[in-house]
Amino acid sequence: MIALTPEQDQFRRTVARFVDAEVAPVADALDERAEFPRALFQRLGALGWLGLRYPEAYGGADADMVTYCLFAEELARGSLSLAAAAAMQSLMGTYFVYKYGSDDLRQRYLVPALRGDLVATFALTEPDAGSDVAGITTRAERRGDRWVLRGGKTWVTNAPVADVLTVAAKTSGERGLRSIALFLLDRAAMPGIRLGKKIDKMAVRASETGEILLEDVEVPETHLLGGETGGVEKIGTILAEIRVMTAALSVGLARAAYETALGYSRQRVAFGKPIGEHQAIGFKLADMLTSIHAATLMTYQAAARLDAGRPIGREAAMAKLFASETAVRVTDEAARIHASYGLAMEYPVQRYFRDARFLLPGGGTSEILRVIIGRELDWDRGAAFA
């Protein structure tokens, strides 16, 4: 479908073999237990895959976005729960300390996180502030050479197991985006960081999610990442990567659902022949494969544009929108092809159907993405497809 370098193709094959041997066989058990997959998570760190997007000086691989998407896609094909935890660790949870932290902070937190020895997360969402970032109420007040944080975050991936948190907080009482800043919190060294309710989800159940409560947490000035304003702009610098990565996760999950449905359609016999040979099912499989093909091309074109340093805001939004909606449609059709067995917990298709819902809000809901795309409409037909 896409032109990969020999190195990228070999990397994909390596990750695929790992997924087939170590991830896919335990994916259903991980989902059933709904526990953070620590052993596999640490395996990813030991293999160097949590540091794909970071320089070799910090234990990374200095890989391009296409390579990272290959990793995300293959991992999601095996277990979206593990892929979600790894995505948080390898992008949002570690990016800001790398980009805006001192070298001391990088050595203390980034390096062990890329090895899988520390679990990192990013805490932005609040009960009354999701897409509307301006509405966050978590406050950071300066007291001498320290900041004191109070407030609460919700829907924090890895929250129950996180050692390190990048937290967005307001440095003034004014509403708006200007005074939002980012702080690096060490759960073991900073009293007042408390786990709130663990969220029991129907999807990506082994990617633990919960609330974080901040009760007068004292944070050293050195843990303020990049100044006391401009947090939204800093988050914006990684949004394109988050959206393209989420598109890759979507492609991986859709592939898993399609391959499962295709296999079932060849084995299940009705009216004297495999159901895949009946036009009603064959058409479903054809539409599923076509949509996956299109989502794959959009995802890797966006990744390649990012690697080339080209503008990517609109393309990242379109790729994430189309790919995540494709994953929802494909997993739904896969469950329909299984008919009653699509409801049976012994078949993985029900897990794919549930997990697909996780992909819709990450990196921006479909509704928000359509707003973003609409703002960047280009009526010059040539420019629109350049």
Structure tokens at 191: 């009293």
CATH number of 121-229: 2.40.110.10
Among candidate residues 65, 11, 7, 84, the one with its CA nearest the CA of residue 309: 65
If 0-12 CB within 10 Å is exposed, 13-18 middle and 19+ buried, where does residue 345 land? Answer: exposed
Q: Is 152 left (phi over 0), alpha (psi -120 to 50) or beta?
A: beta
Give the CA-trace dihedral at 298, 235, 139, 141, to 10 degrees.
170
pTM of the model: 0.94
The predicted pLDDT at position 133 comes to: 83
- Contact status, residue 366 vs residue 324, Cβ threshold 8 Å: yes
Please name the residues in contact with 154: beta carbons below 8 A apart, sequence gap of 6 or more.
125, 126, 127, 196, 199, 210, 211, 212
Among candidate residues 45, 36, 125, 128, the one with its CA nearest the CA of residue 90: 45
Structure tokens at 55: 């320089």
Give the CA-trace dihedral at 169, 170, 176, 181, to 10 degrees.
-60
CATH label, 232-384, candidates 1.20.140.10, 3.90.230.10, 3.10.129.10, 3.50.50.60: 1.20.140.10
Please name the residues in contact with 184: beta carbons below 8 A apart, sequence gap of 6 or more.
96, 97, 101, 105, 109, 164, 165, 166, 167, 219, 223, 225
- Contact status, residue 246 vs residue 323, Cβ threshold 8 Å: yes
The predicted pLDDT at position 1 comes to: 56
Give the three-class secondary structure for 303.
Answer: helix
Give domain limits for the chain. 6-119, 121-229, 232-384
Among candidate residues 356, 340, 99, 378, the one with its CA nearest the CA of residue 225: 99
Domain 6-119 has CATH 1.10.540.10: yes
Please name the residues in contact with 203: beta carbons below 8 A apart, sequence gap of 6 or more.
80, 354, 355, 356, 357, 358
Mean pLDDT by 10 residues, the chain (386 residues): 89 98 97 96 98 96 97 98 97 96 97 98 89 87 95 95 96 82 97 95 96 96 93 91 98 98 96 96 98 98 96 95 98 97 95 97 93 80 55
- Contact status, residue 299 vs residue 251, Cβ threshold 8 Å: yes
- Contact status, residue 260 vs residue 334, Cβ threshold 8 Å: yes
**Helices 6-18 and 65-78: angle between axes, nearest 10 degrees:** 20
Cα 224 to chain centroid distance, Å, stands at 24
Cα–Cα distance, 25 to 216 (Å, whole number): 44
| β-sheet bridge partners, residue 141 | 148
